Structure 1
Amino acid sequence: MEESNKFIRLCTFESFKEIWSHYGFGTDQRDLIQREFTRIKGNHVTYLDHAGTTLFPESLIKRFYEDITRNLYGNPHSHNPSSQMTHDTVESVRYRILEHLNTSPEEYSVIFTAGCTAALKLVADSFPWVSASAEGSGSLFCYLTDNHTSVVGIHGVTGPQGVGTVPVLPQEVEARAQNNPLSGSDGDECLVPHLFCYPAQSNFSGRKYPLSYVRGIQSQCLYPACEHRGRWFVLLDAACFVGCSPLDLKQHPADFVPISFYKMFGFPTGLGALLVRNEVAGLLRKSYFGGGTVSAYLVDEDYFVPKPHIASRFEDGTISFLDIISLHHGFDALLKFTGGMVNIQLHTFGLARYTYMILSCLRHSNGRPVAQIYCDNEFENAAEQGAVINFNLLDGYGRVVGYSQVDKMASLFNIHLRTGCFCNTGACQAYLNISNQQVKSNLEAGHVCGDNIDLIEGRPTGSIRISFGYISSFEDCKRFLKFIANNFVAKPLRLAQERLARLQSASAAEGCSSSEELTTAPTPGPARYGLDISPAPSPETLTQEAFLKAEKSSGKTCTLTNIFIYPIKSCAAFEVTEWPLGPQGLLYDHMWMVVNENGVCLSQKREPKLCLIHPHICLASNTLRLQASGMDPISLPLETSEESPGPRTCRSKICGDRVQTVDCGERVSLWLSEFLEKPCSLIRQSPDFTRHMKIGQEDGKSVYPVALSLVNEAQFLLINRASFPLVTLRQDSSNNGTPIDVLQLILRFRANLVISGLVPFEEEEWSHVKLGGALFQMVGRCGRCQMIGIDQKTGTRTQEPLRSLSECRNGKVTFGVYLCHQPQRNPSAYVSLSVGSHMTAETLK
């Protein structure tokens, strides 16, 4: 209890100020968020993914709108007054970018691209690579292994050209350096161009690599340049760095510097730039020429003359001039709110340092660390570490908690973070100790970049990243740390107090006073680069197997106890006692869905109030009736009437599938918009559109084509009442309020079919089910998300039962199984299901 109180005291602004004094920008940070980021404040969002993209202030968009509505901007390739206005404004933006990076048009040129990746591809396609030959060595493409995918992908261009590839470990750059640079006296070999690419800041760990590497490589004092003769050029990937740190290109004159502006301002997206040092611009070669890039060309000869200025030569077609013009307002907002990049760096680094200190000191009741932090320093210096923390959580037995489960829990608390490998396989392998063979084995096991397969044989495939931006506040840190402590720490919470005292002393040495000295036995520090993660022993708690044994009773029979249909996707359930089967599942199940003004499907994850809309189907009158508190009921026909005007067709997406739908009309659209307080519409799956199920059995065998409605995965979802005691048992021991009763749990898990099974989770071992006169095939387990945390009576979010489900299933969050109907001899004859029907099952062999 004493240590819990100390943790609470640490999560106060007073304690933070003792650790770091450079907070905010001379004004109230909360006031800035309230004025400029109401979409965060109003929705109680804790946004911790600024390395993914920072968020734009509302005044930026307003001023940009006023600009483009007040001024007439034409195509800059013309010469009329509106075109000249565009040209002059764009040139002004170029100058401002260079000024922001402490350089000038005399030293650098700015080429606008579609983003950082497009800038990197431009270098890959235009760099003067020399293929290796018998007469001499060719160019080398060298890159730090801690690089973004878009940098490593340059190998796809250089490989077919016979260019050598040299991946460089971070520790090799200086360890293998030479004091004396290579001379260039060996004939033509000294003219061979080589390219070295490295990030100013790792997008994985936030580690900042020395900017001095730029001159060190160019002068051939550092590895790999010191071991290979030729002319060395440096590509400095600054995309992650410039969001929170000042970059001085006068002091560190990298040859190529790609950036993305949404990392800096949040708007616009899809716009980046490649800064090219003018001294090397003439070396870049170009094959394709687009509109505006040539001085002259002939249509019947292989003849074209590129424009002399590099920006004009490489910006094919019409640039995104309105987006470029918006950058003026981005720079204005940044300067107005923060005073400059130095202030941003101090503010964001302080938040990261404070969060790192407490997270690295959190311990379970048995003294084991709560977090495995992937870093190379103790967050002591803003010149060495950015405002990024990368980690995995560990349970009380030292086992990694899957990042997908953490992400789902974070979503329940409106905490926005990022998980996976962050398009940086090299760093992910190094920090998580994943071998090349394991990467290949994980792929064979079904894991691909960006999916939710977070653990394979107990080992993590990725991690969790939080990152801060200039709009981040102390409250973000506090909410995040309390989220971790409340949901992933075995109580009573403990602190590594000696470590905490040491970190606080380091803060005091940097000019910040330390708080109360805490003393106990030392505990291990944070996880370091390349630390191996070994499986821990199993917990001595109530296991699923023990519960199965205790509950098994040969006297029970399986019967169907509940039938639910969900006419409108994510709206409330409609319970029936008997219902016919249709070609896509239960008749009219998931046939409609609500979409926003852009045609994007709304679910309870985005709009919890959907669960308060109650659909009722009357087969006798052929109507769908909607009811909601405070609203007059509204009815619409189940089928489109042939006499009515043709419905408006539209397309939408469900789980990556494009589906053809029809709009249900303005009347129901207005009803939904009024209740949900945002523009939206109701659409219905088109009667002549067929969508097929993609998932198959867990043994890898495919199933015959199965038609789907607007469901996510399969025709039916079945759950077992016998499994609920396991979940409610964990809730009783969680000390987090009144447990959710079984009826409410059933509603939260949103199944079509509920059975009274013999033992918990036995349905996961079935291959086929016969229910009434219908035969079903089991096609997979249902992985649960944060939707089960939404109270179906009130629409409020809770942390249960997702946390308890994860605990009782040892980190997995599967509950229920997917079924597909297998029509018998006459596929057009569909039977009905009735509550009380006897069920028999065939177990997987």
Structure 2
Amino acid sequence: MAAQDFQDLCTFESFKSFWHSYGYGVDQQGLIEQEFNRIKGLTYLDHAGTTLFPKSQIKAFYDDISRNIYGNPHSHNPCSRLTHDTVETVRYRILQHFNTSPEEYSVIFTSGCTAALKLVADTFPWTAGSSQNPGSQFCFLTDNHTSVVGMRGALALNGISTVPVRPQEVEKRKPSAQTKSEDVSSVSHLFCYPAQSNFSGRKYPLSYVKEIQSGQLYPACQHSGRWFVLLDAACFVSCSPLDLSRCPADFVPISFYKIFGFPTGLGALLVRNEAAELLRKTYFGGGTAAAYLAEENYFIPKPNVISRFEDGTISFLDIISLYHGFETLRKLTGSMLNIQHHTFGLARYTFMMLSCLRHNNGKPVAQIHGDNDFQNMAEQGPIINFSLLDDQGQTVGYSQVDKMASLFNIHFRTGCFCNTGACQHYLSISNQTVKSNLHAGHICGDNIDLVDGCPTGSLRVSFGYMSSFEDSQNFLQFVVNNFVSKPLILDQIRLARFKSPSVMKASVSYDLALIPNDQPRHKSELKTTASAESTTTKSEDTEQNNHSTHTLTNIFIYPVKSCASFQVTEWPLGPQGLLYDRLWMVVNENAVCLNQKREPKLCLICPVICLASNTMKLHAAGLYIKYYTCI
């Protein structure tokens, strides 16, 4: 398919009927203007990192704390009782959101999902292994967040076995009725898995919960005892409904900023009351003691599960703000199911177009890191993880893409996303390579995107309920303009599989942006202009009498340091190489040379040299034209 057809498919009209079936029936642009006008001119695609809070949520919270006085809930005066009652209302609202009740679950507030995970690691009834008893097993999917894998650090010194399990191994063995364990109390084991991968957006079956608890799923079949399940729902609940009445996980850690955008630094552990009774807590803080002695090792915890585990004064004002978060979310979207439809529709379309993009030689523009093709929202969340490739199939470093995107006000996430296991799996990075990369200076979170030409991470775009179709358009246009060798084509076979809507007239045009000389050059750049004249040179190997042919297809010169290139088909030589190449630089008022590290927008300045008039013209989008005389 030609570039014009791609432009046609990227118009809102051509996709309206398809996308409307996934939306929640609101005026999306009206919603953005009313609640999120601060993101005007910005394409925000990092909702898996944190979503954005609406203006009305903050206003409602401000009006609340402006009218009411909320005291410390550990006191008993009227304003403290108001705080206590409001916090308990929020607890009930949280359980209602997950379709459960206080009879089944308790809400323990923490500083975030990570703190909730640490609470489980520190208090779970682990049994150390011995020669007679293998002890407890701590099992986790390798596609888990760092904070889940890090739980093993609290267990290693206590002799608890750690078993990493690859996703494809989970259903490898199912025990028969005769081998199913009957001992449900002697030893406790814990299996952790994510409801949704924060790397690829893959959703793991919620049915795993009951199957593991009943010993019907690997690895529960291998060890007798009682199996508990920790379901990491932090990524999942941001855009999907979670029904704990159907998948009664024993422990469910969440972070509220993933759902509402505000407040940050507040999470919760949803724990089944049956499992909570088994937790062994050693530290006690203010508000958790029924009685204790300062001069004697005597301590009696409060009987209430929540009171036993919330040390000190909870962040009660932030907790109160959650009430307004739930209410605002309901008013704006209707339900989490509506959000799921909306975000999945946007992600599916973006995936469809991105996976079909091809360079002019037919090679793919993007490599998608995932396990499905976005056909079922029960299996895939609104996350697309990918790497961009040049027209020779080589990976473009994620840091380079990220820097370019920032120039166009497009925000997404890069790296390994605190999920080394998934990163290794999808990018084929061995354990030894991780260690070698560390020795070479690469650590998690830095900008070293390629080591020996191999990627150390990838790119991730993710959608939220306020995301729009224009966000998808802007992202796709950015990729086409900057990382696709023209003429652009689409994979018609793959595109047909998605049953895309009818093509309508395009209203946008695409130009391949010039690549700045401070960035590593794309190999695709050598084939960008088909009309360029070719010059052929031959070299003769006198010793072996062999002939090899080399073809020069394009010439790029960089008259001004850190600015864009100037492409020519022929060019005279000067005393130091190509005439006027790398001759000038931009300086500030103190004569200090500027580069793209200090001023990234320098790459938008395009120099054009006219040999006939001996002048150079500098221009950039939205800026005035300046002429200089070449000396």
TM-score of the two chains, using structure 1 as the length reference: 0.63
In structure 2, how many angstroms separate the alpha carbons of the residues matched to 1:748 and 1:333?
A: 50
Matched, 1:36 2:71: no
1:83-104: CA deviation from partner (whole Å, max 9, x where unpaired): 0000000000000000000000
CA separation of 1:35 and 1:731: change in aligned 2, threshold 3 A = farther
**What's the % identity of the aligned pairs?**
66
Which residue of structure 1 aligns with residue 304 of structure 2?
309
Indicate which of 575, 578, 585 corresponds to 1:746: 585
1:600-656: CA deviation from partner (whole Å, max 9, x where unpaired): xxxxxxxxxxxxxxxxxxxxxxxxxxxxxxxxxxxxxxxxxxxxxxxxxxxxxxxxx
Matched, 1:788 2:600: yes
RMSD: 2.6
Which residue of structure 2 aligns with residue 442 of structure 1?
437
In structure 1, how many angstroms separate the alpha carbons of the residues matched to 2:121 and 2:34?
A: 43
In structure 1, how many angstroms separate the alpha carbons of the residues matched to 2:170 and 2:371?
A: 15
How big is the shift at 1:280?
A: 1.0
SS of corresponding position for 1:226: helix
SS of corresponding position for 1:5: helix
Correspondence list, 1:185-334, <5 A: 185=182, 191-334=186-329
1:708-755: CA deviation from partner (whole Å, max 9, x where unpaired): xxxxxxxxxxxxxx9647977834379xxxxxx99997227999566x
Unmatched runs of 5 consecutive residues or more in structure 1 = 506-513, 518-536, 543-721, 735-740, 755-781, 791-797, 803-845
Indicate which of 336, 342, 346 corresponds to 2:331: 336
Indicate which of 86, 96, 114 corresponds to 1:99: 96
Tell me which amino acid in the other structure corresponds to 1:38: N
Matched, 1:730 2:565: yes
Which residue of structure 1 aligns with residue 142 of structure 2?
145
Matched, 1:14 2:13: yes
Kindly tell me the number of residue pairs found equivalent between the two proteins. Answer: 552
How big is the shift at 1:26?
A: 2.2
Correspondence list, 1:675-824, <5 A: 724=559, 730-732=565-567, 746-747=585-586, 784-785=596-597, 787-789=599-601, 799=604
In structure 2, how many angstroms separate the alpha carbons of the residues matched to 1:201 and 1:783?
A: 41
CA separation of 1:126 and 1:9: change in aligned 2, threshold 3 A = same
SS of corresponding position for 1:154: helix
Tell me which amino acid in the other structure corresponds to 2:95: L
How big is the shift at 1:503?
A: 1.7
In structure 2, how many angstroms separate the alpha carbons of the residues matched to 1:460 and 1:364?
A: 20
1:47-75: CA deviation from partner (whole Å, max 9, x where unpaired): 00000000000111111011001001000
How big is the shift at 1:243?
A: 0.3
In structure 2, how many angstroms separate the alpha carbons of the residues matched to 1:746 and 1:22?
A: 53
How big is the shift at 1:183?
A: 3.7
In structure 1, how many angstroms separate the alpha carbons of the residues matched to 2:387 and 2:220?
A: 36
In structure 1, how many angstroms separate the alpha carbons of the residues matched to 2:525 and 2:75?
A: 76
In structure 2, how many angstroms separate the alpha carbons of the residues matched to 1:184 and 1:177?
A: 12
In structure 2, how many angstroms separate the alpha carbons of the residues matched to 1:783 and 1:400?
A: 25
SS of corresponding position for 2:231: strand
CA separation of 1:177 and 1:747: change in aligned 2, threshold 3 A = farther
Q: Say if 2:561 and 2:582, in contact at 8 Å, map to a contact too.
A: no
CA separation of 1:125 and 1:493: change in aligned 2, threshold 3 A = same
Tell me which amino acid in the other structure corresponds to 2:586: L
In structure 2, how many angstroms separate the alpha carbons of the residues matched to 1:422 and 1:77?
A: 39
How big is the shift at 1:197?
A: 0.2
In structure 1, how many angstroms separate the alpha carbons of the residues matched to 2:397 and 2:280?
A: 47
CA separation of 1:5 and 1:733: change in aligned 2, threshold 3 A = farther
In structure 1, how many angstroms separate the alpha carbons of the residues matched to 2:584 and 2:38?
A: 31
Tell me which amino acid in the other structure corresponds to 1:358: M
In structure 1, how many angstroms separate the alpha carbons of the residues matched to 2:3 and 2:590?
A: 40
SS of corresponding position for 1:732: strand
Q: Say if 2:124 and 2:280, in contact at 8 Å, map to a contact too.
A: yes
How big is the shift at 1:25?
A: 2.6
Tell me which amino acid in the other structure corresponds to 1:787: E
Correspondence list, 1:496-645, <5 A: 496-504=491-499, 514-515=501-502, 541=526
CA separation of 1:60 and 1:744: change in aligned 2, threshold 3 A = farther
Q: Say if 1:181 and 1:220, in contact at 8 Å, map to a contact too.
A: no
CA separation of 1:129 and 1:32: change in aligned 2, threshold 3 A = same
Q: Say if 1:182 and 1:220, in contact at 8 Å, map to a contact too.
A: no
Q: Say if 1:130 and 1:163, in contact at 8 Å, map to a contact too.
A: yes
Which residue of structure 1 aligns with residue 116 of structure 2?
119
Correspondence list, 1:289-438, <5 A: 289-438=284-433
In structure 1, how many angstroms separate the alpha carbons of the residues matched to 2:239 and 2:178?
A: 34
Q: Say if 2:484 and 2:524, in contact at 8 Å, map to a contact too.
A: no
In structure 2, how many angstroms separate the alpha carbons of the residues matched to 1:196 and 1:175?
A: 16
Q: Say if 1:731 and 1:800, in contact at 8 Å, map to a contact too.
A: no
In structure 2, how many angstroms separate the alpha carbons of the residues matched to 1:438 and 1:246?
A: 38
Q: Say if 1:49 and 1:418, in contact at 8 Å, map to a contact too.
A: yes
CA separation of 1:160 and 1:67: change in aligned 2, threshold 3 A = same
In structure 1, how many angstroms separate the alpha carbons of the residues matched to 2:598 and 2:328?
A: 36
1:149-176: CA deviation from partner (whole Å, max 9, x where unpaired): 0000001011111000110000111122
How big is the shift at 1:134?
A: 1.5
CA separation of 1:744 and 1:88: change in aligned 2, threshold 3 A = farther
How big is the shift at 1:787?
A: 2.7
How big is the shift at 1:13?
A: 1.3
How big is the shift at 1:227?
A: 1.4
CA separation of 1:114 and 1:10: change in aligned 2, threshold 3 A = same
CA separation of 1:248 and 1:728: change in aligned 2, threshold 3 A = closer
Correspondence list, 1:143-182, <5 A: 143-180=140-177, 182=179
CA separation of 1:751 and 1:450: change in aligned 2, threshold 3 A = farther
In structure 2, how many angstroms separate the alpha carbons of the residues matched to 1:335 and 1:539?
A: 47
In structure 1, how many angstroms separate the alpha carbons of the residues matched to 2:381 and 2:483?
A: 26
Which residue of structure 1 aligns with residue 468 of structure 2?
473
Which residue of structure 1 aligns with residue 4 of structure 2?
5
How big is the shift at 1:232?
A: 0.1
In structure 2, how many angstroms separate the alpha carbons of the residues matched to 1:24 and 1:397?
A: 38
In structure 2, how many angstroms separate the alpha carbons of the residues matched to 1:211 and 1:360?
A: 28
CA separation of 1:729 and 1:408: change in aligned 2, threshold 3 A = closer
Q: Say if 2:292 and 2:298, in contact at 8 Å, map to a contact too.
A: yes
SS of corresponding position for 2:72: coil
CA separation of 1:750 and 1:7: change in aligned 2, threshold 3 A = farther
In structure 2, how many angstroms separate the alpha carbons of the residues matched to 1:444 and 1:257?
A: 37
Tell me which amino acid in the other structure corresponds to 2:212: I
SS of corresponding position for 2:106: strand
Q: Say if 1:402 and 1:454, in contact at 8 Å, map to a contact too.
A: yes
How big is the shift at 1:516?
A: 5.5
- Comparing 741-750 with 25-34, greater Cα deviation is found at 741-750
Tell me which amino acid in the other structure corresponds to 1:48: L
Which residue of structure 2 aligns with residue 549 of structure 1?
none
Q: Say if 1:143 and 1:198, in contact at 8 Å, map to a contact too.
A: yes
Matched, 1:70 2:57: no
TM-score of the two chains, using structure 2 as the length reference: 0.83
1:774-831: CA deviation from partner (whole Å, max 9, x where unpaired): xxxxxxxx994483315xxxxxxx74579xxxxxxxxxxxxxxxxxxxxxxxxxxxxx
Indicate which of 61, 65, 81 corresponds to 1:84: 81
How big is the shift at 1:229?
A: 1.1
